[in-house]
Amino acid sequence: MPAAFGARRLLRMFYLSALASVRFCPLSRAFYDRKRAEGEALLALARRRLNVLWAMIRDKRCFHYSPPVALPA
């Protein structure tokens, strides 16, 4: 199996992950909406998810989602 085949499968996995996260993750949806005006928003989101995963592996940390806290007016 050529290396390019594995790279395409990995790219597809992150693309599908980004597609699902737009529907179910508010942080991903906000990022997607910001990038949508610039074009290629889904690929930018997939790249961002890859960068986050790489940082988690590099720093040996788990992902913890903490929703934004609304401050009283």
- Each residue's pLDDT tens digit, 3-55: 666 788 888 888 899 999 999 988 889 889 989 888 888 889 988 888 989 99
Per-residue pLDDT at 11 = 84
The helix-helix angle for 26-36 and 41-59 (nearest 10°) equals 130
- Whether residue 71 is contained in a domain is answered as no
Position 40 scores a pLDDT of 80
For 4-64, the DSSP string reads HHHHHHHHHHHHHHHHHHHHH-HHHHHHHHHHHTTS-HHHHHHHHHHHHHHHHHHHT----
Domain that holds residue 29: 3-59
Within-domain flag for 49:
yes
Residue 53 lies in a domain: yes
Tell me, yes or no, whether 11 lies in a domain. yes
Q: Measure the CA–CA gap between 38 and 15, rounded to whole angstroms.
A: 18
Domain assignment present for 73: no
Q: What is the pLDDT of residue 3?
A: 63
Q: How many structural domains are present in the chain?
A: 1
Quick check: is 17 in a domain?
yes
pLDDT at res. 43? 87
Q: Is the pLDDT of residue 58 over 60?
A: yes
